[in-house]
């Protein structure tokens, strides 16, 4: 078996050759602009590539530059992020964009150390942006890289960042980092690694035998909402600006089976919605918009829905009810 530590050049060569042939063609891989790489890296945190693609394209169209993002209203930024979840990410990006404009003359810091000074940019994101946009020899470690290294070395490294840094190809840090993450995402997958297709199998001490921590147990809960609309308006509520989750975003009024209201409701739809480690069963009770319901929220013009920062579950319900186009 070849040794990863003794032959790092061979490891890099095999990995990079495989990445050139098999790496997925993703929109953020066609650019070296730090702004676009930043947007993609923040969106990809805790979110799958397939779910990010449309959001990324729409976000870049709405805010093509850091200047445009900094100048936008926070509600517009959240509206573009609506449905992607973890809204703190969008708020931090907005704040960081304003700082870049105010304190860096609109230019991104050019080093990972400088990038880490910005809100919402930690060690991983700083290394990803600096290596891809500026070819800084800074290794990245995300969940994929961590799993690949643990399996290659048959051990949890005491300092995984240092191990990744030793392996990094200093001449091609952008490709190397992306190749390691791609290997973890598409070949060295959590449940069933495809060792037969792995370009670095000859360096691997475990070939898939290394145990990977079981995913955290998921909780279950249910949510009930009222969807009351007429031809022009929909009843909605805005979450408190100080709420710990999804502050300031818009959602449907919560529905409680309250017999005193005597709503002749019909159960319009049920669907599943997952937030962090909880799977929700969502029940939406649809009713014609009557005057007596108005105490439960505010009337929102249907034409303005697409511009509102909607919670993910509200967006899903309203889209399914046909009040919002899936493209909006
Ligand atoms: Fe992962 Fe298998 Fe490749 Fe080892 S040989 S790195 S376990 S895919």
The predicted-structure confidence for 206-223, as pLDDT tens digits, reads as follows: 987 765 566 678 889 888
Q: Are 300 and 308 in contact (CB under 8 A)?
A: yes
Nearest to 280, CA basis, from 320, 220, 217, 218: 220
pTM for the whole structure: 0.80
Reading the block at residue 102, the tokens are: 């105010």
In testing the pocket of ligand 1, which one of 143, 152, 163, 210 has its CB within 8 Å of the most ligand atoms?
Answer: 152
CA 258 to chain centre: 37
Does residue 189 carry a pLDDT above 70?
Answer: yes
CA 170, CA 152: separation in Å to the nearest integer? 20
Interval 216-244 mean pLDDT: 89
CA 27, CA 29: separation in Å to the nearest integer? 5
pLDDT for position 104:
95
pLDDT for position 146:
93
CB atoms within 10 A of CB 49: 15
Beta strands 266-275 and 219-229 are unpaired
> Distance from the CA of 151 to the center of ligand 1, in angstroms?
6
The one-character DSSP state at 41 is H
Most confident of 28-32, 272-276, 303-307: 28-32
Q: Which atom of ligand 1 is nearest to the CA of 198?
A: 3
Does residue 276 carry a pLDDT above 80?
Answer: no
pLDDT in tens, 144-171: 999 999 999 887 667 889 999 999 999 9
Q: How many CA atoms lie within 13 A of 157 on its CB side?
A: 19
Interval 188-204 mean pLDDT: 94
Q: Which atom of ligand 1 is nearest to the CA of 183?
A: 8
> Distance from the CA of 27 to the center of ligand 1, in angstroms?
27
> Distance from the CA of 3 to the center of ligand 1, in angstroms?
14
Going by alpha carbons, the residue nearest to atom 4 of ligand 1 is 207
pLDDT band at 29 (very low <50, low <70, confident <90, very high): very high
Sign of CA dihedral 177, 183, 184, 185: positive
Least confident of 8-12, 178-182, 189-193, 287-291: 287-291
Q: Are 274 and 280 in contact (CB under 8 A)?
A: yes
Sign of CA dihedral 303, 305, 306, 307: positive
pLDDT in tens, 79-94: 999 989 889 999 999 9
Instruction: Give catalytic residue positions.
Output: 41
């Amino acid at each position: 078996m070849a040794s990863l530590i003794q032959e790092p050049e061979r490891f890099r060569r095999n990995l990079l050759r495989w990445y050139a042939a098999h790496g997925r063609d993703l929109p953020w891989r066609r650019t070296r602009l730090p702004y676009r790489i930043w947007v993609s890296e923040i969106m990809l945190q805790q979110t799958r590539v397939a779910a990010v693609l449309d959001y990324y394209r729409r976000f870049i169209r709405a805010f093509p530059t850091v200047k445009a993002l900094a100048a936008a209203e926070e509600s517009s930024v959240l509206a573009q992020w609506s449905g992607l979840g973890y809204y703190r990410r969008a708020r931090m990006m907005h704040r960081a964009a304003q700082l870049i404009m105010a304190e860096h003359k609109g230019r991104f810091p050019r080093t990972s150390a400088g990038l880490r000074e910005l809100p919402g940019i930690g060690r991983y994101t700083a290394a990803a942006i600096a290596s891809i946009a500026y070819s800084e020899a800074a290794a990245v470690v995300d969940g994929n890289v961590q799993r690949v290294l643990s399996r290659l070395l048959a051990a949890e490294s005491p300092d995984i960042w240092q191990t990744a840094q030793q392996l990094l190809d200093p001449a091609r840090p952008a490709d190397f980092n992306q190749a390691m993450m791609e290997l973890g995402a598409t070949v060295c997958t959590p449940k069933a690694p495809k060792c037969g297709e792995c370009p670095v199998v000859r360096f691997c001490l475990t070939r898939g035998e290394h145990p990977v921590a079981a995913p955290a147990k998921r909780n279950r809960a249910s949510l009930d909402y009222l969807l009351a609309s007429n031809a022009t308006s929909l009843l909605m509520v805005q979450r408190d600006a100080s709420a710990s989750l999804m502050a300031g975003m818009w959602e449907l009024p919560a529905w409680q089976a309250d017999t005193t209201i005597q709503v002749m409701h019909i159960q319009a739809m049920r669907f599943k919605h997952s937030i962090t480690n909880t799977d929700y069963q969502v029940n939406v009770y649809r009713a014609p918009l009557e005057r007596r319901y108005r105490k439960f929220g505010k009337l929102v013009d249907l034409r303005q829905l697409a511009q509102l920062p909607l919670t993910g579950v509200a967006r899903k319900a309203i889209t399914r009810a046909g009040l919002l186009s899936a493209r909006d």
